[in-house]
Amino acid sequence: MCRRNLFIPDKMAYTKGKDRPEGVCILCAIAEGDPQVSNLVVGRRDSFIVSLNLYPYNPGHLMVFPEEHIEDLRQLSEERLCTMFSLTRMCMDVLDELYKPQGYNLGFNIGRSSGASILHLHQHIVPRYSRELGLIDVVSGTRVIVEDPIITKEKLFAAFKERGAI
């Protein structure tokens, strides 16, 4: 259950994954415009939010989620489901325009045993690039983010604004 007005003394530690106090929901914090996390938002439409992922798998890794804290796709009406997928399609159009990926992984993790680190319903939109695994990735076992996240955010924000979704 999400406690919207809970005082969170050390939210940045939570957003960095160091400490995850029971009852705190990072996507609710983003939806409420918490200044420590709201700068991840790049689009908004009909009570849904498009945001950058906290730990991007690839540049342009986005999430679409409802402002309301729900944890299962089946809690959405047909109409809201349509809105969510319409925004998903917009994410793909925007990413095609800005980054020209060769493919996408789209998906949900629903329920505690699914691997979901955040229970608040969200869809991942992960652009995939044919040459994304470089030498440094192989040697160090880490991924290299090739663009400054602030630049990524500004470009995406402008593209969603152009489409009327902000």
Query: DSSP states of 92-146 as a string?
Result: HHHHHHHH--SEEEEE---SGGGT-S--S--EEEEEE-TT---HHHHHHS-----
Among 28, 40, 90, 94, interactor with Zn ion by CB under 5 A = 28
Q: Are 78 and 40 in contact (CB under 8 A)?
A: no
H helix and E strand count, the chain: 5, 5
Binding mask 52-91 for Zn ion (x = CB under 5 A): -----------------x----------------------
Q: Bridge-partner residues for 51, per DSSP? A: 41, 63
CB 123, min distance to Zn ion, A = 14
CB 85, min distance to Zn ion, A = 20
Chain residue whose CB lies nearest Zn ion: 25
CB 2, min distance to Zn ion, A = 4
Stretch that binds Zn ion, among 22-30, 34-42, 88-96, 98-106 (CB under 5 A): 22-30
Asked if 122 is an active-site residue, the reply is yes
Whole-angstrom CA distances from 33 to 37, 49, 113, 146, 165 are 7, 11, 29, 27, 16
Whole-angstrom CA distances from 125 to 8, 50, 93, 107 are 29, 10, 11, 7
Q: Which is nearer to Zn ion, 31 or 94 (CB)?
A: 31
Binding mask 95-134 for Zn ion (x = CB under 5 A): -------------------------x--------------
Q: Which is nearer to Zn ion, 4 or 16 (CB)?
A: 4
- Positions in the binding site for Zn ion (CB under 5 A): 2, 25, 27-28, 69, 120
